[in-house]
Amino acid sequence: MSRIGKKAVAIPNGVTANIENGMLSVKGPKGTLTLGLSDLIDYKVEEGEIQVNPANDSKQARSYWGMQRTLVSNLVEGVTEGFSKTLEISGVGYRAKAQGKTLKLELGFSHDVDLEVPEGIEVKTPDQTTVEISGIDKQAVGQFAAEIRRWRKPEPYKGKGIKYRGEYVFRKEGKKK
């Protein structure tokens, strides 16, 4: 039995959820999100909550149960509060600047890296070494943060690169004489 799947997803005030044509749509103050429903899982929208249960006793249905409940929970959390990730840039000459729908990164290459910000994502640069990514879709926010980080992962000797706020970079000792 899935411990996560057993819990119903609470629907806060101001949020509506409905199921039609194999899609669960959740509408809230920040926007609308949809999720394609699996045939292996039964979804029920009741007063004030969404119940997620396996459709049968197969191993695959039980495997999907907790994951589908978490996806539904992410929809509800996204339309009420939203999600955000913060990246920190460290290194001499490394900086970032948000310009409209483009993020300009200077990461020590011979050229600047210009990234198009996806639809539904908001990027802010409060200072040159901090990038704040926010949006209502958890997967899209995390994916865009990972794409930015991919350009310069933190290296273990000096710690230069792009890292998530709060991420620990294991430092190695340099050469000895």
The sign one gets for the Cα dihedral 65, 66, 71, 73 is: positive
Spell out the domain ranges in the chain.
Answer: 3-80, 83-164
Percent of the chain with pLDDT over 90: 86
Separation of alpha carbons 172 and 91, rounded Å: 17
Whether the Cβ atoms of residue 9 and residue 33 lie closer than 8 Å to each other: no
Q: What is the pLDDT of residues 3-19, one digit of tens each?
A: 888 899 999 999 999 99
Residue 1: pLDDT band by 50, 70, 90 thresholds? low
Instruction: Assign domain 83-164 to its CATH architecture.
Output: Alpha-Beta Complex (3.90)
Question: Residue 175: its pLDDT value, please?
Answer: 87
DSSP 3-state assignment of 105?
A: strand
What's the CATH number of domain 3-80, 3.30.1360.30, 3.90.930.12, 3.40.50.20, 3.40.630.10? Answer: 3.90.930.12
Q: What is the pLDDT of residues 133-177, one digit of tens each?
A: 999 999 999 999 999 999 999 999 998 999 999 999 999 998 888
The sign one gets for the Cα dihedral 157, 125, 137, 3 is: positive
Q: What is the pLDDT of residues 57-97, one digit of tens each?
A: 899 999 999 999 999 999 999 999 999 999 999 999 999 99
DSSP string, 73-130: HHHHHHHHT-EEEEEEEESTT-EEEEETTEEEEE-SSSS-EEEEPPTTEEEE-SSTTE
Same fold, 3-80 and 83-164: yes
pTM over cut 0.75: yes
